[in-house]
Structure 1
Amino acid sequence: MAKIAVYMTGGIALYKGIEVIRSLEKNGHQVRVAMTASATKLITPTTLHALTHAPVLTTLWDQNNSPVPHIELADWSDFAIVLPATANIIGKMANGIADDAVSTTLLATTAPIIVVPAMNTHMWRNPAVQRNIVQLKQDGIRIIEPATGMLAEGYEGKGRLAEPDEITNQLRLIINNSNSGRTFLSGKHLLITAGGTREPIDPVRFIGNRSSGKMGIAIAEAAANAGAHVELVLGQITVPQPINKQIKIYRVESTEEMQVMVGKLFPASDILIMAAAVADFRPSQIASQKIKKHPEQEELELQLVKTADILKTTAAKKRSDQFVVGFAAETNSLLENANKKLESKNADLIIANNVAGNDSAFGSDLDQVTLLQLGTSPIKWPKMTKREIATKLIQLLATKIR
């Protein structure tokens, strides 16, 4: 079992960290805690001392039987978790600032670091915070993204701490994958598509869809965390591109461009996951100049033709050692339409989800999916975050190709 240092900062979500610590201890890990001065205003070090049965580091000057306590804690750790991570500590870590016990110990830590942010949604979206997050990712630090929901300020937005169960599940995956330097998808190549495609009408306008790319990107990050080499073909997205040395990104715009790229990369892949929302039709003609609206004009007619069926044409070429996953985003008759897709596309697995009305998964951090495979009953997963779904899917796929 691992030795885990938990660094607690002064966010109101600090209380959720207690539940994460308890879960880590129940799983057999040793836990020690360091706290900022602000964190001690919300929860006392005595509480954490009683919970972990270990001294709590709050200052650089309290030796705790060690002449250099922050170095001792940094060297002791197999993993370091910053929870909750405020904008302040994220900024310090990104810029190498060490002005208290927590920031100094983190700077001295060579163990893997996992940051779990929590803050007001306006702070989370601030360009400075996002630059710092990018820097942490480039430095090899893993980020467990904040959730969207009701904030302490009384309104909804992205920034609240991920739920303790999700944090624990992601930590379990990271710790298990790092054990003895082995990961369960090490050496495997995954080809993943994400986002939406755009089909041009003229130089200004296009036909597109509401896909954000969140699911495909979450799957790519989960696969990379599991040790896989990931090639991610990205259409149009509304979220930042992932930054991970295990993920190579290819940007495309149209369905045709995505088909060409997938066809090029598929032969070297062990698993293909088609999470992109691909346009089914495109204009038969693309105007070379912007189509102008005339005062007397009431209608504009577009003739549409089918685009390439990337999933079907690619799955038809798969070898016996390749596994193909498709998505079925439906607004009605979910299982009926998804089963038709399973039978006609030659895929090994179809993941069906509802994108109608208030249940739409487009742009949301949450989704509820059903898994369909030939010869088996549908498996309905409960509503989860897309990152939880991604983690669970990667764990399932690892069993399919062992």
Structure 2
Amino acid sequence: MEQKRIVVGVAGGIAAYKACTLVRQLTEAGHSVRVLPTESALKFVGAATFEALSGHPVHTGVFENVDQVPHVRIGQDADLVVVAPATADLLARAVAGRADDLLTATLLTVRCPVLFAPAMHTEMWLHPATVANVATLRGRGAVVLEPASGRLTGADTGPGRLPEAEEITTLARLLLERGDALPYDMAGVKVLVTAGGTREPLDPVRFIGNRSSGKQGYAVARVMAQRGAEVTLIAGNTAGLVDPAAVNVVHIGSAAQLGDAVSKHAPEANVLVMAAAVADFRPAHVATAKIKKSADDADAPSVELVRNDDVLAGAVRARADGQLPNMRAIVGFAAETGDANGDVLFHARAKLKRKGCEMLVVNAVGEGRAFEVDHNDGWMLSADGTETALEHGSKTLMASRIVDAIGALLRS
């Protein structure tokens, strides 16, 4: 991505220290970052720290460098504004249109996307005043992230924790890639997402697995949650990925465990997104002790495989049988390669027809493609025959396009 001008606003909360990592990640990505802290924020992190990380001077008031008119110029030049943490006070001042420091004055002059990452105690986050302020900002086109749940100041826990810097950076990049705001259009929708590869045990040490990292499924869950959905994520092997904020995560290991988790959670869901790479086969017998290596090649063990249940097709059948009364859309994923019988899309079209879901997201896989990378591309195939190319970009961008299509499907 070409260099962008990003303003990072920092309000006065204990989570202000996380803004340091955010600034570093954005500058290391090649962007020009200007930090605008409030006076209260500087009680938690000093100006020198932000200046060293960003390479730009740090001011809080509108009467510094007046000849450059910074309270107007900074906002006019910005490609993106990220406020992290955004305290209850900062949100209230932004809603009221206050301009009593450099950050709030800048918020009045920007015409680029604005991303607020709230951080406050649970009681403050759930207070009707904050709820109304968040709704107002979203109504004006700003993106207000759902906070994470976890340890807050002191011994308190609950929703209101600032998401990790990596997550904020990911969503900031998404806004730059999309070129527009992220709509808050999934409120009230219950979504079940599966992600990552399954592992089928062979003995206490070994397993049969695949190369899926879980990044694409995590991206779908993250985008769904930040667009207002109530998301449950069933995660297989995800190589240490950070669980998305505002998402209920259920960790599993094998295909059978994934199937059980889908059966448990699908009856309440409106949308099922099967992004997990579920093993088609598992060993017929699992050894209770490690299988020893013999010196004689003739004694090498053979592994008998049996077919796993098709979780996606099973969900489609369950809906047809009336077992999933709330389910409105089922989306499958297919990692395909061409062969002598046909290309990627040939096999994908056959799979969509065979599975019976509303949509199938197709990735062409191979060396450096789809698996274990941060970027992706492919196609979305719909049951009505529509085929849409997904442009190459980050997996978060691809996730947002998939969610766009799911939203359009639900509205229709």
TM-score bracket, shorter-length normalisation: 0.5 to 0.7
Unaligned residue ranges in structure 2 (runs of 5+): 1-5, 11-19, 35-46, 59-64, 78-97, 121-133, 138-142, 146-157
Question: 5 Å matches for 1:3-402?
Answer: 6-7=8-9, 12=27, 16-17=31-32, 36-38=50-52, 41-42=55-56, 46=68, 50-52=73-75, 69=101, 139-142=160-163, 145=166, 166-168=174-176, 172-174=180-182, 176-177=183-184, 184-245=185-246, 247-297=247-297, 299-318=300-319, 322-332=328-338, 333-358=343-368, 360-402=369-411
TM-score for both structures, normalised by structure 2: 0.63
Shift of 1:237: 0.8
Q: Which amino acid aligns with 1:69?
A: D
Q: Which amino acid aligns with 1:262?
A: V
| 1:187 and 1:229 in contact (8 A); partners too | yes
C-alpha change, 1:82 and 1:201, in structure 2 (3 Å) is same
C-alpha change, 1:282 and 1:67, in structure 2 (3 Å) is closer
Shift of 1:38: 3.6
C-alpha change, 1:48 and 1:381, in structure 2 (3 Å) is farther
C-alpha change, 1:229 and 1:40, in structure 2 (3 Å) is closer
SS at the partner of 1:381?
Answer: strand
| 2:8 and 2:33 in contact (8 A); partners too | no
C-alpha change, 1:14 and 1:401, in structure 2 (3 Å) is closer
Shift of 1:285: 0.8
Shift of 1:231: 1.1
Q: Which amino acid aligns with 1:259?
A: G
**CA distance in structure 2 between the partners assigned to 1:350 and 1:13 by the alignment:** 36
SS at the partner of 1:290?
Answer: coil
**CA distance in structure 2 between the partners assigned to 1:162 and 1:263 by the alignment:** 31
Q: Which amino acid aligns with 1:327?
A: F
**CA distance in structure 1 between the partners assigned to 2:189 and 2:206 by the alignment:** 39
**CA distance in structure 1 between the partners assigned to 2:381 and 2:238 by the alignment:** 26
Shift of 1:371: 0.8
Report the counterpart of residue 86 of structure 1 in structure 2: none
C-alpha change, 1:205 and 1:163, in structure 2 (3 Å) is closer
C-alpha change, 1:231 and 1:296, in structure 2 (3 Å) is same
C-alpha change, 1:378 and 1:293, in structure 2 (3 Å) is same
**CA distance in structure 2 between the partners assigned to 1:391 and 1:327 by the alignment:** 15
SS at the partner of 1:316?
Answer: helix
Q: Which amino acid aligns with 1:286?
A: V
Identity %: 27
**CA distance in structure 2 between the partners assigned to 1:189 and 1:162 by the alignment:** 23
Is the deviation greater in 256-265 or in 374-383? Answer: 374-383
Shift of 1:16: 3.3
SS at the partner of 2:350?
Answer: helix
Between the two proteins, the alignment pairs up a number of residues equal to 311
CA RMSD of aligned residues (A): 4.4
**CA distance in structure 2 between the partners assigned to 1:67 and 1:224 by the alignment:** 31
**CA distance in structure 2 between the partners assigned to 1:249 and 1:164 by the alignment:** 23
**CA distance in structure 2 between the partners assigned to 1:303 and 1:190 by the alignment:** 36
Shift of 1:356: 1.1
SS at the partner of 1:293?
Answer: coil
Shift of 1:77: 11
Unaligned residue ranges in structure 1 (runs of 5+): 20-33, 55-65, 84-92, 95-109, 115-136, 148-160, 178-183
| 1:202 and 1:290 in contact (8 A); partners too | yes
TM-score for both structures, normalised by structure 1: 0.65
Shift of 1:243: 4.0
**CA distance in structure 2 between the partners assigned to 1:265 and 1:77 by the alignment:** 45
